[in-house]
A = this chain, B = another copy of it.
Amino acid sequence: MRMRLQHALLETGVAAGVLLEIEDGRITSARVDGQSRTFNGDPSPEHVRDPRLAGETGTTPGLTLPGFANCHSHAFHRALRGRTQQERGSFWTWREQMYAVAADLTPDTYFELARDTYAEMRATGITAVGEFHYLHHQPDGTPYDDPNEMGKALLAAADDAGIRIRLLDTCYLAAGFGRPPEGVQVRYSDGDAHAWAERVAAFDDPRVGAAIHSVRAVPRDQLPVVVEAARGLPLHVHVSEQVAENEACLAATGLTPTQLLAEAGALGAGTTAVHATHLTDDDIRLLGESRTNVCFCPTTERDLADGIGPARRLHDAGATLTLGSDSHAVIDMVEEMRAVEMHERLVTQQRGHWSALELLAAATYDGHRSLGFDDAGRIAPGQRADLVTIDLESIRTRGAGASAETAVFAATAADVLPPRAAR
């Protein structure tokens, strides 16, 4: 299969007139095409403007990027959209509303919610998702006949929506330091980390990865068990989203959550620290030196009043930024990219902390890698042909130019054109 792209983000930057050769879903050749270059004088000639004319031998208009990797998803939270905005409160009062949804889910409704959420992701250019999955058991805590039935519902939903998934099967054992699971949390708990590891081992699907919910939810002595069982798999963990979590951790262990994870051997290039909002200088050093990924979820972090994490300082210390839509109050990877930069602007009164290309790397290649998909996220030979095309002629993008800056700072999810590869 051959695709002509009006503009595309290659490893060297945005190029005009790109010719892709694709075989079995993989890019075999990506080169700037002399013939297509003749279209560039007029950025929107009629023969490339009309998507219906952009057939296999035509030109895909717009700016084509590697598909986005949404590295932190709780698919069922989509049911809360628009429904948690009436009262005053905090992350913790929001969590009560979220738990009420979690309490009622069945494998069928979990599947349906996830299918619709993943379909929304696909429509907005997300081609891979990391699903942070902790809703394992029946409402009374009893495993389903197949103890991985809920996880399998998510895999089926991803298949249905046509999205690549890393199912981050999450260990969740405690309500807090020294506190057994409470209420709906019995659905999350496998009892101990060994039982969690056994269930995950029985899953037997190459798409399964691992997660520690948080240092609140996995006792200190069980963290190394999870780390050992997760060896070779992507390992994700919520870290310091809330000040209260830090305070409880310090009180119980004398360590920050990051220090506790470092002690357990949990940090490293295969690990992703999600949120990483309220960090000490030493936390930043530990995450950076270990080359841990840090998954920021800015639209959720502002919706849940988490705060603004030190994204750039983490990057400069050696950590790798990735992005997620988390609670799905919004599903828009463009907005996630932009918000990382915007939040830093708001607190520093300076512009230009992140370049558009750096933010695109977070949303594409680095995100894929943090999910264990090393062969996606670039438009380059050998990479999967997971693509997203940004309309450069929408009311928002028109006139802004065929640039990485337009994709990150002018576009929104609504400017993602329908996926060609799926047609």
Binding site for B on A (CB under 8 A): 78-79, 81-83, 85-91, 93-94, 116, 119-120, 123-124, 242-243, 301-308, 329-332, 342-343, 345-346, 348-353, 355-356, 395-401, 403, 405-406, 408-410, 412-414
Contacts and interface: CB of A to CB of B under 8 A. Distances in A.
A299 to B, nearest CB: 8
A412 to B, nearest CB: 6
B345 A305 contact: yes
A352 B349 CA distance: 25
B349 A89 contact: no
Contacts of A123: 395
17 contacts: A78-B399, A79-B399, A82-B406, A85-B352, A85-B356, A88-B350, A89-B351, A90-B349, A91-B351, A120-B396, A123-B395, A302-B346, A303-B342, A305-B346, A305-B348, A305-B349, A331-B396
A343 to B, nearest CB: 7
Residue from A243, A305, A397, A410 whose CB has the most chain B CB atoms within 10 Å: A305
A352 B85 CA distance: 7
A217 B86 CA distance: 42
A93 B351 contact: yes
Contacts of A119: 395
Given A350-B90, A414-B414, A82 B405 contact: yes
B399 A350 contact: no
Q: How many copies of this chain does the complex contain?
A: 2
Which DSSP category, helix, strand, loop or mixed, fits chain A's interface? Answer: loop
**A-B pairs, 10 with minimum CB distance:** A82-B400, A414-B414, A88-B352, A305-B345, A82-B410, A82-B406, A302-B342, A85-B405, A85-B409, A81-B400
A116 B242 CA distance: 44
Given A305-B351, A414-B414, 16 more contacts: A81-B400, A81-B410, A82-B409, A82-B410, A88-B352, A124-B395, A243-B349, A303-B342, A303-B345, A303-B409, A305-B346, A305-B348, A307-B349, A331-B395, A332-B412, A396-B413
Contacts of A243: 349
A303 B90 CA distance: 26
Nearest to A120: B395
Contacts of A82: 397, 400-401, 403, 405-406, 409-410
A346 B395 contact: no
Nearest to A242: B349
A343 B347 CA distance: 10
Nearest to A408: B85
A307 B345 CA distance: 7
Contacts of A304: 345, 351
Contacts of A93: 351
Nearest to A123: B395
A94 B349 CA distance: 12
Contacts of A398: 116
Given A123-B395, A399-B79, A400-B81, A346 B86 contact: no
A204 B410 CA distance: 37
A88 B87 CA distance: 39
Nearest to A308: B346
A388 to B, nearest CB: 15
A69 to B, nearest CB: 19
A85 to B, nearest CB: 4
Residue among A83, A304, A355 with max Cβ neighbours from chain B (10 Å): A83
Contacts of A330: 396
A235 to B, nearest CB: 28
